[in-house]
Structure 1
Amino acid sequence: MTGPLLLGVRHHGPGSARAVRGALDAARPPAVLIEGPPEGDALLPLAADERMRPPVALLAHVVDDPGRAAFWPLAEFSPEWVAIRWALEHDVPVRFIDLPATHSLALQAGADEGEKDAEDTEEDRDVLRVDPVAALAEAAGYDDPERWWEDVVEHRGREGEETFEAFGALAEAMAALRQEYGDGGHARDLVREAYMRLQLRAARKEFGDDVAVVCGAWHVPALAARATVAADRALLKGLPKVRTEMTWVPWTHRRLARLGAPPGRGSGGGYGAGIDSPGWYGHLFSSPDRPVERWMTKVAGLLRDEDRPVSSAHVIEAVRLAGTLAAMRGRPLPGLSETTDAVRAVMCEGSDVPLELIRDRLVVGDVLGEVPDAAPAVPLQRDLTRLQRSLRLKPEALERELELDLRKDMDAARSRLLHRLRLLGIGWGEPAVMGRGSTGTFRETWRLCWEPELSVRVAEAGVWGTTVLSAATAKAESDAASAASLAAVTELAERCLPAGLSDALPVVMRALADRAALDSDVAHLAQALPALARTLRYGDVRGTDTAALREVAGGLAERIRIGLPPACTRLDADGAEEMRRHLDGVHTAVGLLSEATDHAGSGGLRERWGAVLERLAARETVAGVIRGRAARLALDDGRLGEEEAARLMGLALSPGTAPTDAAAWIEGFVGGASGGGMLLVHDERLLGLVDSWLSGVPAEAFTDVLPLLRRTFAAYEPGVRRTLGELVRRGPAAAGPAATSAGAATSPGFGAGLDEHRADAVLPVLRLLLGAEAVGVRARGGRSYGEGNT
């Protein structure tokens, strides 16, 4: 060696990694310099820790604004990682020489705020950014840059090519590209390369000229070029700075497969480097020989685990086919495209469905790296790590479902942790079964998936406290003070109870009581009450004291009961539909609250609410959709008899009612997924009223009525719609409230009462299925076995 050994690589390339290791073994340089942020130098010794398992990433974030962050990922097959491990194993000094994160993150902030920097000038915006690999592939006659790179780089080491010659050829090609395209549209690279040249000069003075530099091949010509110290320092003069911190964080293969900006360019989104098959690259790097045969064996094992019949003969035939395809396509070795085609033809019988599984599990992979405890971390991260271990909740890259039984102490503690993290904005777990309509049970289902970006969210949340509990409590108290609406406070209260934030609840409850007292909009109150009812139910499940919450909820319910009838009058169509949704929510909430408020001594909440429903159903100034919905809810609660429901429907569908108002009443009464279809199936009088009204709608009004009716009946299940169609075809007899007398036949094949003779015919079969004694008990009640008990 007569000068610095410049090893130009492609980030995360297994061929480049093997070549770097071979070059370092041959050259034995006195020091190794690597493209990366110098703030990470103090963290490099951790790479030798046996608990450090790639993929991992260096994470830099602004101390005062942790959301501004950047990653420098490293996989097992990354040339930089190989160089770091080689230097540590051989006790050779190793350093990062790229632009410090203190500058790159400050430049990122400037770009976000619209400030002009080296990358934001008018001239640079008109420059087409160059992909050097794509440019070289096109020059070589390839239409796929990935295939070209595999042929000329990834497979070279397996053919006995000289390592140094390969690096020299790649450097020569990049020099030609730099001469043609300049900075290639990446103006900030000029600043980064100036800093790298300064660091290279300093290393040569300290260790001699034989130092090795591992960097992106695009930068090799710039590092080899002659430039004065003054010129380089001039490029760096006046760069903005921010105070940063850096640590190691786990990374994933899935995150490596996503495209992003190169390191040092201030991207918080990570750096994928164009890799779409990290699992395949990892296999190429780790396979000592016969990579295709070993890959096909992995594929066969995966398919066998999924109960697909794959034999050794399939593996042998797939290997032969992949080799044949490579020879036909003029490739030195089978690549990913050849192995995929062979697997599809031989193991998957031409189907692409199993290939999706292979791509997800093997080509990309679900590997999640590990970082030792000695790595620097914010106190909140350390507390979270401790909780994850004590609760046996290991972060995993592959999404999985977690079933929790809240009656068990361990599961209850896991639930509290996940709820606290969600409140802090750390979305490690998302509830799989806990929607707006949930009333709370002893069981929760979560979907867990750890993404590397969550490390940034943890750093951001660290401003609220040093532990998960203290941080979630402080965040909840702050959100309660700054909530803009009553609904926001009730939602916060709903999230605090399952999170077990007993210290934050008094603050949240005071904010809730204050806002509830000042808010006079019935719609706002109705929007807030369901969340409070759900919160009370969750409090009951977890044994939490919810007396104060119960008192506020009861007060809201009474105010809604009083103010709802006036608020439902003289509404337009959109306002009526919104109020109908509030009516449903309040009705469900009253059902949850009634028992709690009765025990509290207020008594009769459900009765008073039922009176409101009857009043709404009978008031003509109330919109049709609300009147119909109120009548249906009162009917379901048993406060409205079938005869009275038929009378109200008859009035709503009378000739004096506008067709659109009548259609709105029908939508409220039997619309959507509220079980209205089954109500019409079992009560042919109501079906007859609807049928008679619809048959009499004037032709000129039918077009206006049709959208409402389609929305009403389209939500029914197919079986319900089919049954209703059969009943209408047979001709329901009821055309009005008094059309059918008790006991009269309603349509052919149907009777108004129970046919006991036909019902008795099923008893012999029931005795065989259930036993004679069980059937005898059910049958002694006369008609009891015909009323749904069978």
Structure 2
Amino acid sequence: MTSQLKGSEQHEGFHVFGIRHLSPAGAHHLLSFLDTVQPTAILVEGPSDASHVIADMTSRGVVPPIAILAYTNELPIRTLLYPMAEYSPEYQAFLWANRHGVHTEFIDLPSETALALHEQRRAWRKSSMEPEDEPKDGSRTGPQGAPTEDGLQAAPPEEAKAENSLQTYLRKQHERYEQIAELAGEPNYDSYWERHFEHNQQKDAYRHAVYEFSAQMREISELDEREHDAAETAYNEIREAYMRRRIQEVLKAGHVPGKVVVVTGAHHASALDLRLPVMTDKQRASLPKASTKLTLMPYSFYKLSTHSGYGAGNQAPAYFTLFWECLKKGDLSGLPSLYFSHVAARLREEGNYRSTAALIEAVRLAEALASMQGGSQPTWQDLRDAAVVCLGYGELSTIAEALARTDVGTAIGSLPEGVSQTPIQDDMNRELKRLKLEKYKSTVATTLELDLRENRRVKSEEAAFIDLKRSVLLHRLKLLDINFARKQYVNQGAASWSENWVLQWTPEAEIQVVESTLKGETIELATAFVLNERLEACGDITEASKLIRIACDCDLPKLMEQARGSLQELAVDAGNFNQIAAAAYELSVLIQYGSLRRMDTDSLVPLLQQLFLRGALLLSDAANCNDDASKSVIAAIHTLHGVAQEHFDSVDDALWIHKLQDLASRDDRNAKCSGFAFAILLERNEVSEDQSAQEVSRRLSPGIPADLGAGWFEGLSMRNRYALLSRTSLWRQLDSYMESLEEAQFHRSLVFLRRAFGSFEPREKAAIAEMMGDIWGFDADQTGEMLQRPLTNEEKGKLDELNDFDFEDL
């Protein structure tokens, strides 16, 4: 359609200024152009229903980068992002309009239509794609920062297979741009763009060059676009027809055409010509809609960079911020010195120092590289190459972190309180301020150590329990899947007074906060909503007990009581020993540390008693299992015994010991489980020396199959090995057992016992060797000498036989 028209950047008297998103030179030349034209209206490509947030974007206290977030207010949530940096031409246009009191608005499709069409495009591509055309890796590729890109967020990876035709088009487009760079002698398209457009300081050169370049590239690419992605073609034509309509409406409102400036992505510049069809009322009424909301949110340099996968970004937002600062001063020639001084400062922070002479040489080398390409100024790639040679001494690795901080940066934008925020965003910001967590709202991961105990050295209650309240907030964010805080488990265990969290703020976290507004207008209400949903869907006692723990961590006592009621109902029919043990453990932890979180846990004690009693009665039946299942059963026995020890005054400990004695004596239960139960009894001194010798003799006798005897010993060795090492009679009995076996049975037992001893620590194995040496009549020195002696070839052969042992039908 646009290929039929040839023209300049001015149609019907109004001005079209094509820009590349996130272009500092584009912002610089646009401001100069606005000063010259002195427009009465500035129209900007962007969601037309977001025009009301322009005033917020230009208000005092706003620090870019920021983004407009559009999201559906029904599940599943879909989002569109329109990010801007300080050097974004659109943002600078808004600031100019604010300073001069000029009317400004967005003119692209409203977000409700853009999101609906976005879904229709995805569905159309998926339905029209042939199975054999699906990409094998499900990945999406595309040009990084090409002038044809808009601010739409990329499709999720799981849906990328539905966009193979778009991938083909984008790949060809990317190849075309790279061919341009190759013909110009540049390493990549970004270097080509920077040298030929960003560095061009001649008046009006940027505007004319971008317009003509994009118009020609669009004409060349239209054929490929129609062939490989008709959905994308249709979408762009709808957008452009709508923007032409909005321009026409502004002109009809009385603005003089020569005083209207349209700022748009260069790809659309040549299409904003009123000689082309304008969207009619009927067409506008037929556009699909999805109910949406809009908000402003802070953004980060990392997300603006192509390192994050954002296609309309640029690779070095921090570098282009330095570029923008030099343009504002009218001294672009000072950029190399400024860049290298920042790299040197980052190196100094790491403890590495570079001389002034090294920086001077880096500047000279960068300028020499630029002159070899016929440029007047070094590009970002020239500066990086010079930094590697002069500051990294030829090695990128030595300065990689310093370069990353200088190129990409860690800056994150900010918005003053109450500026175009959803209620839950405002609540989040208030909570961070109240709990003195604002400084952790950074893209750099920081560890926060919390002490949940009362701080008696402060005067106010707020300060005394600030770490506890921080913990509550972080647990709530964790439940809401807001990836601001990640908990690390410390040595004392997850239920102790100490908690370690890693805090890192990202734009994704901000989006997740916004999405949570559908669950509640505050963090507390949203958390309660999510927890209540999980309770309603809860079907087993393990999950119910975890929800009690979560409710306690999130300081939601009413929901904690609701979860307790659910657990009590489920416990009536509970028959899974492992689940009962896990549920009892969760309750045990809460009862132990509930006072630390200032929660009343007395109502949980009867429920713990009920679960413990049920678990004890199911112990013997649970041990009727094979070796694979025995691992989880033994873990559950260990857990339930821990509950018995911690709450001996509340639960029926005598019944538990009786059930352990019953399991330890049973021959028709899993041998490992019986051995583990016997180990607990040994530890509790519930078994005398004579009883121990009799049981070992019974379990480790020639009449017992080797796998059963060795399995029993393996279970025995899984608990308190120091108690085993202190009982010489046990090892004498094991020695007698091994001596009594015939050769075939001996080999079988040796294989199983080798597995049992495999988990012993070296010092434990050495202690066993010394004990066996005493039994065989060797002193400690002789035993040590034998252990240190190299293996003979015969002994190595015997070990190989054990490794190749045939377990037959075992």
Measured against the shorter chain, the TM-score band is 0.7 to 0.9
Task: Select 2:319's aligned residue among 280, 293, 296.
Answer: 280
- Aligned-partner Cα distance in 2 for 1:12–1:424: 33
Deviation (angstroms), 1:499: 1.6
Deviation (angstroms), 1:122: 5.2
> Aligned with 1:215: secondary structure?
strand
Map of 1:66-145 to 2, 5 A cutoff? 67-110=77-120, 114=123, 116=124, 121=128, 126=165, 128-130=168-170, 132=173, 134-141=175-182, 142=186, 144-145=188-189
- Aligned-partner Cα distance in 2 for 1:220–1:687: 88
Amino acid at match of 1:516: A
Give the fraction of aligned pairs with identical amino acids, expressed as a percent. 26
Deviation (angstroms), 1:705: 8.2
- Aligned-partner Cα distance in 2 for 1:693–1:145: 78
Task: Select 1:399's aligned residue among 423, 445, 460.
Answer: 445
- Aligned-partner Cα distance in 2 for 1:34–1:603: 71
> Aligned with 1:503: secondary structure?
helix
Name whichever of 425-434 and 43-52 sits farther off: 425-434
> Aligned with 2:176: secondary structure?
helix
The answer to whether the 8 Å contact 1:278/1:364 transfers is yes
Name whichever of 500-509 and 486-495 sits farther off: 500-509
Task: Select 2:663's aligned residue among 585, 610, 616.
Answer: 616
Match in the other structure for 2:473 = 417
- Aligned-partner Cα distance in 1 for 2:354–2:724: 54
The answer to whether the 8 Å contact 2:577/2:636 transfers is no
* TM-aligned CA distance change 1:617 to 1:111, over 3 Å: farther
- Aligned-partner Cα distance in 1 for 2:733–2:118: 68
Name whichever of 401-410 and 485-494 sits farther off: 401-410
The answer to whether the 8 Å contact 1:58/1:248 transfers is yes
Name whichever of 18-27 and 637-646 sits farther off: 637-646
Task: Select 1:248's aligned residue among 296, 300, 312.
Answer: 296
Q: TM-score with structure 2 length normalisation?
A: 0.79
Amino acid at match of 1:402: L
Match in the other structure for 2:483 = 427
Amino acid at match of 2:107: I
> Aligned with 1:97: secondary structure?
strand
The answer to whether the 8 Å contact 2:591/2:602 transfers is no
Deviation (angstroms), 1:36: 0.9
- Aligned-partner Cα distance in 1 for 2:767–2:272: 84
Establish whether residue 631 from structure 1 lines up as the match of residue 678 from structure 2.
Answer: yes
Task: Select 1:215's aligned residue among 264, 275, 278.
Answer: 264
Task: Select 1:306's aligned residue among 350, 362, 377.
Answer: 350
Task: Select 1:64's aligned residue among 62, 74, 89.
Answer: 74
* TM-aligned CA distance change 1:510 to 1:111, over 3 Å: farther
- Aligned-partner Cα distance in 1 for 2:710–2:60: 71
Map of 1:529-678 to 2, 5 A cutoff? 529-569=584-624, 571-594=625-648, 598=649, 602=650, 605=653, 607-640=654-687, 652-670=699-717, 676=721
Establish whether residue 733 from structure 1 lines up as the match of residue 789 from structure 2.
Answer: no
Match in the other structure for 1:380 = 424
> Aligned with 1:453: secondary structure?
helix
Name whichever of 346-355 and 484-493 sits farther off: 346-355
Match in the other structure for 1:342 = 386
Establish whether residue 518 from structure 1 lines up as the match of residue 544 from structure 2.
Answer: no
> Aligned with 2:584: secondary structure?
helix
Task: Select 2:539's aligned residue among 465, 474, 484.
Answer: 484
The answer to whether the 8 Å contact 1:659/1:697 transfers is no
Match in the other structure for 1:757 = none
* TM-aligned CA distance change 1:328 to 1:478, over 3 Å: same
- Aligned-partner Cα distance in 2 for 1:224–1:172: 12
The answer to whether the 8 Å contact 1:561/1:609 transfers is yes
Task: Select 1:748's aligned residue among 781, 789, 796.
Answer: 781
> Aligned with 2:636: secondary structure?
helix
- Aligned-partner Cα distance in 1 for 2:387–2:701: 68
Q: Per-residue displacement from partner, 1:486-528 (whole Å, max 9, x unpaired)? A: 1111111011112211222221111111111222222321232
Amino acid at match of 1:398: V
Match in the other structure for 1:43 = 53
Aligned length: 713
Deviation (angstroms), 1:655: 4.3
* TM-aligned CA distance change 1:689 to 1:59, over 3 Å: farther
- Aligned-partner Cα distance in 2 for 1:679–1:225: 91
Match in the other structure for 1:228 = 277
- Aligned-partner Cα distance in 2 for 1:258–1:246: 25
- Aligned-partner Cα distance in 2 for 1:169–1:367: 35
The answer to whether the 8 Å contact 1:252/1:367 transfers is yes
Q: Per-residue displacement from partner, 1:249-271 (whole Å, max 9, x unpaired)? A: 1111222235789xxxxxxxxx5
The answer to whether the 8 Å contact 1:434/1:444 transfers is yes
> Aligned with 1:214: secondary structure?
strand
The answer to whether the 8 Å contact 2:180/2:189 transfers is no
* TM-aligned CA distance change 1:746 to 1:591, over 3 Å: farther
* TM-aligned CA distance change 1:714 to 1:76, over 3 Å: farther
Q: Per-residue displacement from partner, 1:130-153 (whole Å, max 9, x unpaired)? A: 365652331342552222222222
Amino acid at match of 1:205: K
Gaps of 5+ in 2: 1-9, 131-162, 454-463, 785-810
* TM-aligned CA distance change 1:214 to 1:62, over 3 Å: same
Q: Per-residue displacement from partner, 1:413-468 (whole Å, max 9, x unpaired)? A: 11112122223333322211269x93522221111122223334333433444333
Amino acid at match of 2:48: P
Deviation (angstroms), 1:589: 3.2
Gaps of 5+ in 1: 262-270, 752-790
Name whichever of 193-202 and 337-346 sits farther off: 337-346
Match in the other structure for 1:162 = 205
Amino acid at match of 1:613: L
- Aligned-partner Cα distance in 2 for 1:623–1:613: 13
